């Protein structure tokens, strides 16, 4: 028998504001997840300031800077994609979203080369050069790999999320009147950017 | 409220079969899925508890060897905390009753809700799998302190990953409830017209959301340290094990308020109903929930007074710890004031609520002893702590859970439990509980350490009293469970409002239809507990 | 009122659409701040603690730019900003107490 009475405040209606609120709440959990790592970093840096400084010289500031610029640009492109869709320009929105993914790939490629060079120098926990480092430096590199690794994982997830949204934009499921998924993927992407905004100076710009 | 021709099948009847349950999007079914799974794991952990008490019947070895004993108390703690108490009231009764109390037909994100339950099951699977392979379950205690947790050969990684997954389940439930409370309240129900259980779930959800990620990342650090053989808490690379304790307790202290706040919310629902009076100081109770959640973030160091933490940090945490008692006391005073001159209806849910107040007071006051830095040095890691936390977690939150079970039993199954048997089970539980755990407070002050497999001869008598108490407790538990299970089928039919309650959950049938309400629910005028006339109560059986 | 109408109404309420210009301006500011922070680090004197503080300050300004403009926080309901402040304050407290422990040992 058909269900006749529907509450005005039914939980079964998809609701843009709820969707946005849910995404923001999820972002708070991500902030605290990374927060734990930042806390560990701050403590160990306070205790080993010189070691952290010396260790940071291993990092390539140019690559780090380029990566920062890449991510900041990708934040702009996804934000513009939302503007485009809000104005009804689906094609532009899709193009800008693709550019964001391209930036994500560029970021990961650069990261790949950075990590690669560290491996070549035996700097990963467990490798010979690493084991011979002073204690503070070993903490630095452990944190470097853990934090940039976890961040890279989020870059991948964010990229996939945007990819899925591109698909939905093409099928029309995400459109001018139902924009939440694009907005939420943008919010997630900005979080990825935000974390890097702090990672960059903490690891690359110690002096 | 007429019981005549029900136009809708109830939520049990709409679809049948296993798949309609494990793929359900109905918050009521999800609540019950949690109930059955949580109940099962609770019994496993309770069994482990009985086993421990049997081992402690006499000094020396009674049944199991020391290594096994360490694994037993670890698994007991992991299951009780992560698989039972933390999810219990929010996941079972929050899921079942919150939408009803708010006058809506589901939570904000029903599919996310189902996913939360699947994560719970996955986490449980991980936790219990530690029993069957390798060196067996972790033997570190549920706190997984480094460096031992990194070195031991037992299944720490699986246990810790279980906790990580369960944490995710908890986070998503909290997220769901926050959005539900903000967005789905019935028209006319502002935040200050919400039932207090909803307020307590709101405060709890914020703790689940913000605190859990910290332990999430900390546990990943432990996994990494085990995997790579070195890690961030390893002194051999300059790390500090105490940093692990900080990170662990930054979550685990707020976690105890995840356990306590919903329980207090239950008491705040039960007392007005069985006093047939509006709650005394609605806003004070509502805001005290938020205050407890808030202050609870600032006190974690009181678990670490003897760890090697600095003196200044220790006394700052001690002072902050005292503040958290204040909002709790506000609640107790307001509950008692509500009962004063009420038209008291003595039913089992009320008995559990009163037992909560009694037990939580003992638990809370012993907590102050532990919060006082100087006193704590004497009783830290003794049975005083074990007594304290069982009083608040079991005597408090556990009893509130049992109370909620009886309170909403008729609403969920449309049947009434056998009241005589329920009363008996309550008495056994209450007496058994206190006989089990009160001696522990004394043993702790006498100096008996916790997590020890053996003890000095002078501690024997009290240990034996405690063990006998545990048998009474278990008997009460078994009788309660049998009563509820049998009454589900064979109990007398219950009306939609057997307790003459005034919150919206009682304005629909027992059991409710799939979409909760067949017509617009009516908010009581003047407040959620505004009973019309305390002295003309019509009791419907 | 069925839910489709409800959502279109909501979107009409939430009129503000960030312009391309605004996003571009935010981007330009971010690039500038990044170059600034690299500059300070490369050529700044041995200020050690001050350099950390400066770097964190610039990072925070960048983060605020991303949050307020790219994430639209400036135009969202006030409660989101309140929540974010609470979350950040909580993190700062955790950091503060833990570092206090280490510094006073």
In order, the DSSP letters of A99-128 are HHHHHHHHHHHHHHHHHHHHHHTT-STTSH
Q: What is the CATH number of the domain that holds B290?
A: 1.20.210.10
Question: Could you say which architecture CATH assigns to the domain A43-204?
Answer: Up-down Bundle (1.20)
Q: Who contacts A35 (Cβ-Cβ below 8 Å, separation ≥6)?
A: B213, B214, B217, C91, C94
Chain C contact for B249 (CB, 8 A cutoff): no
User: Distance of alpha carbon B380 from its chain centroid, rounded?
Assistant: 23
Query: Would C57 be classed as within a structural domain?
Result: yes
| Domain carrying residue C55 | 17-71
Residues of A in contact with B179 (CB under 8 A): 18, 21-22, 25
B105 vs A: CB within 8 A: yes
Helices (H) and strands (E) in chain B, counts: 19, 2
Residue C33 lies in a domain: yes
- Residue B525 within a domain: no
Residue to test with chain B: of A11, A34, A137, most B Cβ within 10 A: A11
Chain C CB within 8 Å of residue B311 CB: yes
Collapse the DSSP code of A201 into the 3-class scheme (helix H, G, I; strand E, B; otherwise coil) and give the result: helix
Alpha-carbon distance B7 to nearest alpha carbon in chain A (angstroms): 9
Of the candidates B250, B297, B312, the beta carbon closest to that of C100 is on: B312
Contact A16 C7 (CB under 8 A): yes
Residues B178, B208: Cα–Cα separation, whole Å: 10
Contacts of C104 in chain B (CB under 8 A): 310-313
Q: With respect to residue B350, please indicate whether it lies within any of the assigned structural domains.
A: yes
User: What residues have CB less than 8 Å from A20, skipping those under 6 apart?
Assistant: A180, A183, A184, A187, C76
- Alpha-helical regions (H) of B344-459: 348-371, 373-379, 383-390, 399-413, 419-446
| DSSP 8-state code for residue B492 | E
* C8 → closest Cβ in A46, A83, A177: A177
In a domain, B522, yes or no: no
Domain housing B178: 18-507
Q: State yes or no: pLDDT of C16 exceeds 90.
A: no
The pLDDT assigned to C3 comes to 46
The residue ranges of chain B whose pLDDT is under 50 are 1-5, 534-541
**Would residue B275 count as lying in a domain?**
yes
Q: What is the ipTM of this complex?
A: 0.94
Residue A8 — pLDDT band, cuts 50, 70, 90?
confident
| d(CA A181, nearest CA chain B) in Å | 14
Residue of B nearest to C79 (CA): B182
Task: Give me the pLDDT at residue C44, please.
Answer: 67
Compute the nearest-CA separation of A35 from chain C (Å): 7
Task: Give CA–CA dist B368/B388, Å, rounded.
Answer: 10
User: What integer pLDDT is reported at residue B230 of this predicted model?
Assistant: 87
The distance of A42 to chain C (nearest Cα, Å) reads 8
Question: How many domains does chain B fold into?
Answer: 1
pLDDT, one tens digit per residue, over A32-48 is: 999 999 999 999 999 99
Structure confidence at residue C45 (pLDDT): 58
Give C84's contacts in chain B (Cβ within 8 Å).
Answer: none
pLDDT in tens, A76-85: 999 999 999 9
Position C44 in a domain? yes
Q: What is the mean pLDDT of chain C?
A: 85
Cross-chain residue pair A31–C8, CB shorter than 8 Å: no
Our measurement of the distance from residue B96's CA atom to the centroid of its chain's CA atoms, rounded to an integer in Å, reads 15
Has residue C88 been placed in a domain? no
Q: How far apart are CA B165 and CA B161, in angstroms?
A: 6
The answer, for B309 touching chain C at a CB cutoff of 8 Å, is yes
Domain for residue C10, yes or no? no
Q: How many domains, in total, are found in chain C?
A: 1
pLDDT average, residue stretch A181-201: 97
């Amino acid at each position: 028998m058909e269900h006749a009475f529907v509450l005005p405040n039914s939980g079964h209606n998809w609701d843009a504001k709820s969707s946005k609120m849910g995404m923001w709440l999820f972002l708070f959990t991500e902030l605290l997840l990374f927060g734990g790592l930042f806390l560990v970093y701050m403590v160990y840096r306070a205790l080993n300031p010189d070691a952290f400084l010396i260790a940071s010289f291993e990092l390539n500031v140019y690559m780090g800077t380029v990566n920062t610029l890449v991510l900041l640009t990708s934040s702009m492109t996804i934000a513009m994609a939302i503007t485009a869709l809000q104005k009804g320009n689906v094609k532009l929105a899709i193009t800008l979203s693709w550019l964001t993914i391209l930036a994500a790939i560029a970021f990961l490629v650069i990261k790949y080369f950075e990590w690669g060079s560290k491996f070549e120098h035996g700097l990963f926990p467990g490798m010979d050069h690493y084991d011979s480092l002073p204690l503070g430096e070993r903490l630095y590199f452990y944190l470097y790999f853990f934090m940039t690794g976890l961040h890279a994982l989020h870059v991948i997830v964010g990229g996939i999320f945007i990819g899925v949204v591109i698909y939905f934009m093409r099928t029309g499921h995400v459109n001018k009147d139902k924009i939440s998924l694009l907005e939420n993927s943008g919010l997630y992407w900005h979080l990825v950017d935000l974390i890097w905004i702090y990672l960059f100076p903490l690891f690359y710009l110690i002096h | 409220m007429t019981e005549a021709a029900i136009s809708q099948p109830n939520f049990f009847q709409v679809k049948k079969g296993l798949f309609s349950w494990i793929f359900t999007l109905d918050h009521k079914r999800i609540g019950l899925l949690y109930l059955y799974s949580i109940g099962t794991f609770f019994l496993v952990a309770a069994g482990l508890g009985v086993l421990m008490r049997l081992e402690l019947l006499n000094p020396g070895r009674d049944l199991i060897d020391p290594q096994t004993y360490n694994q037993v108390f670890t698994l007991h703690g992991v299951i009780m905390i992560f698989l039972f108490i933390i999810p219990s009231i929010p996941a079972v009764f929050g899921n079942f009753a919150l939408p009803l109390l708010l006058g809506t037909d589901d939570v904000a994100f029903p599919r996310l809700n189902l996913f939360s339950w699947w994560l719970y099951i996955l986490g449980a699977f991980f936790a219990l799998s530690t029993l069957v392979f390798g060196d067996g379950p972790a033997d570190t205690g549920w706190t997984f302190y480094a460096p031992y947790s990194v070195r031991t050969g037992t299944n720490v990684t699986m246990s810790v990953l279980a906790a990580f997954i369960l944490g995710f389940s908890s986070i998503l439930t909290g997220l769901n409830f926050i959005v539900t409370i903000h967005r789905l309240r019935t028209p006319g129900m502002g935040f200050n017209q919400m039932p207090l259980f909803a307020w307590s779930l709101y405060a709890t959800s914020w703790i689940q959301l913000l605190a859990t990620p910290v332990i999430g990342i900390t546990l990943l650090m432990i996994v990494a340290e085990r995997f790579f053989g070195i890690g961030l808490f390893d002194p051999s690379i300059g790390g500090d094990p105490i940093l692990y304790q900080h990170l662990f307790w930054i979550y685990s202290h707020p976690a105890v308020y995840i356990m306590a706040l919903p329980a207090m919310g239950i008491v705040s629902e039960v007392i007005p109903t069985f006093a047939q009076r509006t709650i005394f100081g609605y806003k004070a109770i509502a805001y005290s929930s938020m205050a407890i959640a808030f202050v609870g973030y600032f006190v974690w160091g009181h678990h670490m007074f003897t760890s090697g933490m600095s003196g200044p940090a220790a006394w700052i945490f001690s002072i902050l710890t005292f503040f958290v008692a204040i909002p709790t006391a506000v609640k107790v005073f307001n509950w008692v004031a509500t009962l004063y001159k009420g038209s008291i209806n003595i039913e089992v849910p009320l008995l559990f609520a009163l037992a909560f107040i009694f037990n939580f007071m003992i638990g809370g006051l012993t907590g102050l002893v532990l919060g006082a830095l100087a006193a704590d040095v004497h009783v830290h890691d003794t049975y005083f702590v074990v007594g304290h936390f069982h009083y608040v977690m079991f005597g408090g939150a556990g009893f509130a859970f049992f109370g909620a079970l009886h309170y909403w039993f008729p609403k969920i199954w449309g049947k009434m439990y056998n009241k005589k048997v329920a009363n008996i089970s309550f008495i056994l539980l209450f007496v058994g509980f206190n006989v089990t755990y009160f001696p522990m407070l004394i043993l702790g002050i006498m100096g008996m350490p916790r997590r020890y497999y053996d003890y000095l001869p002078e501690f024997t008598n009290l240990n034996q009293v405690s063990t006998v108490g545990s048998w009474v407790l278990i008997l009460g538990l078994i009788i309660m469970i049998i009563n509820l299970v049998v009454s589900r089928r064979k109990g007398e039919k219950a009306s939609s409002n057997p307790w003459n309650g005034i919150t919206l959950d009682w304005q629909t049938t027992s059991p409710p239809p799939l979409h909760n309400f067949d017509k617009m629910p009516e908010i009581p005028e003047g407040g959620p507990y505004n009973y019309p006339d305390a002295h003309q109560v019509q009791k419907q059986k | 009122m069925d839910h489709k109408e409800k959502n279109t109404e909501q979107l009409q309420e939430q009129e503000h659409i960030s312009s391309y210009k605004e996003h571009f301006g935010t981007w330009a500011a971010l690039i500038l701040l990044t170059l600034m922070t690299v500059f300070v680090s490369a050529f700044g004197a041995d200020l050690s603690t001050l350099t950390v503080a400066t770097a964190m300050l610039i990072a925070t300004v960048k983060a605020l730019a991303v949050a307020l403009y790219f994430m639209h926080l400036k135009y969202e309901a006030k409660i989101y900003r309140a929540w974010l402040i609470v979350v950040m304050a909580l993190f700062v407290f955790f950091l503060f107490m833990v570092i206090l422990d280490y510094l006073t040992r």
